[in-house]
């Protein structure tokens, strides 16, 4: 069976309550394209309100979670807290967490395990910086992140890998389709070697300056099962064309 396309919006540190109108428009547009799974991950302050404003069953998620279930971790959010307010998804290991906050593969793995343990679906991010890409080490770098970050035991339908070349995030730069296909194929091969047939059920998303103009080509690439979208996910006008491109495939 073919894997369903999955398009996820990561709002990052953007959005106050007025932005819920765009979220409602996005989810309304997504309902008209039922062949595509769509999720939005707003800042934590909007998760509960977005769940309440969205249609029943809409997938709203968090952008991060702590690996611990509770404790003296000021400013952090546990996976169970996200689930408690209606979140269904959590992003872990985004490059802005790995690089900006020094998160290791072991940290990302522990967060993924926490999210899965709380009943959430997990989007686990991997990706290489530009110097690694230019040195020819991109695939080795990313496969090492996959090996170190992906838990050993999980439902393959509840964990997706998001490949985001760090140098392409928010820059307008995009790898060639051949480069994206090579990386996604390498990730799929590594998952198959480790998990066997279960790897065929795992979705691998592409992220890095995805927009309405390039979505069809990127999403039509082998082993690209969807997109993790940053800036273009903040408005229905920019995000829905990506969903539409996915639905047309």
DSSP 197: G
Residues paired with residue 39 on neighbouring β-strands, in sequence order: 8, 59
- Return the beta strands (E) in the chain as ranges: 5-10, 36-41, 59-62, 89-92, 121-126, 159-163, 204-207, 226-229
Q: Specify burial of residue 214 (Cβ count, 10 A radius: 0-12, 13-18, 19+).
A: middle
Give the catalytic positions in this structure. 94, 164
Helix (H/G/I), strand (E/B), else coil: 54:
coil
For residue 225 the two structure tokens come to 């099962």
**Own/partner long-range contacts of 212-217 (Cβ < 8 Å, ≥24 apart):** 212/238, 212/241, 212/242, 212/245, 214/174, 215/241, 215/242, 215/245, 215/246, 216/245, 216/248, 216/249, 217/177
> 10 Å Cβ neighbour count for 63?
23
CA 83 to chain centre: 17
CA–CA separation, 90 and 235 (whole Å): 20
For residue 136 the two structure tokens come to 């020819």
């Amino acid at each position: 069976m073919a894997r369903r396309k999955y398009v996820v919006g990561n709002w990052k540190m953007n959005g106050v309550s007025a932005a819920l109108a765009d979220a409602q428009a996005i989810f309304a547009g997504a309902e008209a394209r039922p062949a595509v799974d769509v999720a939005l991950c707003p800042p934590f302050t909007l998760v509960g309100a977005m769940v309440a404003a969205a249609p029943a069953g809409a997938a709203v998620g968090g952008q991060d979670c702590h690996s611990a279930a509770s404790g003296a971790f000021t400013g952090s959010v546990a996976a169970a807290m996200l689930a408690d307010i209606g979140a269904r998804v959590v992003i872990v290991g985004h490059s802005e967490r790995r690089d900006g906050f020094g998160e290791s593969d072991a940290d990302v793995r522990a967060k993924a395990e926490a999210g899965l343990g709380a009943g959430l679906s997990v989007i686990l991010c991997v990706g290489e910086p530009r110097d690694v890409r230019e040195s020819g080490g991109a695939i080795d770098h990313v496969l090492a992140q996959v090996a170190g970050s992906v838990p050993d035991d999980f439902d393959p339908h509840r964990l997706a890998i998001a490949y985001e070349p760090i140098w392409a995030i928010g820059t307008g730069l995009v790898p060639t389709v051949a480069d994206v296909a090579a990386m996604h194929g390498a990730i799929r091969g590594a998952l198959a070697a480790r998990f066997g047939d279960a790897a065929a059920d795992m979705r691998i998303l592409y992220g890095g300056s995805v927009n309405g103009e390039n979505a069809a080509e990127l999403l039509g690439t082998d082993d690209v099962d969807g997109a993790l979208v940053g800036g273009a996910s903040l408005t229905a006008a920019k995000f829905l064309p990506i969903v539409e491109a996915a639905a047309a495939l």
